[in-house]
Amino acid sequence: MVQFERIATVLIGGVLVVGLALLALPGRLAGLPIPYEHLLEVVLWGTTGLFFASAVLWVALSYVLGAGYESPASEYGGDDIQVRILTIDAAEVVQSTVDSLPDELTDRHVIAEEPIEIDGAEVHVVPDEFECTAVQKGRAIEWARRTLPCDREFVLYLDEDSIVEHFDGLPDADVVQLRERPRRTGSVLSYLADVYRMGVQIEQRAFARLQIPLFAWGGGIAVRTELENEVTWDRETLVEDTAFVWAAAQQFDIDFALSTSTCSNEAPPSLGEILQQRRRWAAGNIEATALLPRPYRALTRIRNFAWALSPIVTVVALPLALVGVSVVYAGLFLLASMSLAVFTAFWFVRGLLYYGVSEFKWVFALPLVPLISVVHSMGTVVGILHPPSSFRVTEKVGTGK
């Protein structure tokens, strides 16, 4: 495995040190203390430096380490896979997901918190008296692991709204990540924020070359049954999918693969829902970093802080620079701000390209990218400052556009 995390940590740390040095230099040359009174300058340069380091890291992941990555050929078909769909009681939503399963996936199970009726799959209700360390969704998955017999090579986990659009089997890997394709169910801004996220998320193609993948999406993920029983899901976390992969990578030398199979899932239907979703992701990821070695722990936390602060560059820093608000090294600051604004625009366009011609109609929303980046990141800010105390399921509406 590539020891990429050490290089990344040094890169981010180096950018921050250089940024602080630039701030301190004028005062030092004049024999004065570091100008802490210029709080706005410190915030703007610090944020810009942090975001710049994360952007450079993203380029390295997506176009250097991930260059040339091709999903491995499928070696396992429907007879090797047991499907488990997680829900509380959303029968209509789950039925659509079950109906989307290809005929070859015959071993189908719905793990629910309340009794529901589903055609084409066996429903199992998690008993109230079941106790384990895991909570909420993780508790349901752990109950299923302990209770449901499985003689298949893989268990494929789907969220209640994970419509299977394309499935061509699974490659020979311990953890196989299916691709996601959020669909609009309500708020346009919420949907476009997920399009933006898809552009950023092409970095996943580098994860197979890392010792530990940086995150996982539990809405479509297959794990080798033997590995699942060794690692288990029995840990208290708000991000059971990422926490499982991190724990597995710490215990074993796992193989991770990004599949060509794709699930269409619901984008949060409102700004309130996307805020709560991102809040849980951010808080859960930061808390789960305790499972990681120190370099990865620092890298993951810094990435979360960078994404939380990233809108400052386009919403605050760039307008201030354009109207002539003076900061230390104003010309360099303007160049850095504009470069990062281009990055945010690129991620949105890259997300549109990920969807294909059908969604490129949204290119007219390009001027709204600063606002879209705020929608994408606002929940991360809240998650860092005010983590949720419990798992909150994102509202599903059961329809899509």
Decide: 230 and 252 in contact? Cβ < 8 Å: yes
What mean pLDDT do residues 336-358 have?
89
Query: Domain residues of the chain, as ranges?
Result: 78-296
Q: What stretch of H or E contains 159?
A: strand 154-159
Among residues 228, 311, 287, 275, the alpha carbon closest in space to that of 394 is found at: 275
Helices (H) and strands (E) in the chain, counts: 13, 8
pLDDT in tens, 269-320: 999 999 999 999 999 999 999 899 888 888 888 888 887 877 776 666 666 6
- pLDDT at residue 22 in the model: 44
Q: 78-296 adopts what CATH topology?
A: Spore Coat Polysaccharide Biosynthesis Protein SpsA; Chain A (3.90.550)
- The set of residues, in sequence order, having a beta carbon less than 8 Å from that of 262 and lying 6+ positions away, is 164, 165, 166, 178, 179, 180, 181, 220
Q: Which amino acid appears at position 288 of this protein? A: A
What mean pLDDT do residues 89-118 have?
96
Q: Is the pLDDT of residue 393 over 90?
A: no
**Sign of the alpha-carbon dihedral angle for 11, 17, 20, 25:** negative
Instruction: Name the 3-class secondary structure at 76.
Output: strand
What mean pLDDT do residues 203-216 have?
93
How much is the pTM?
0.87
Residue 284, φ and ψ in degrees, nearest 5: -65, -40
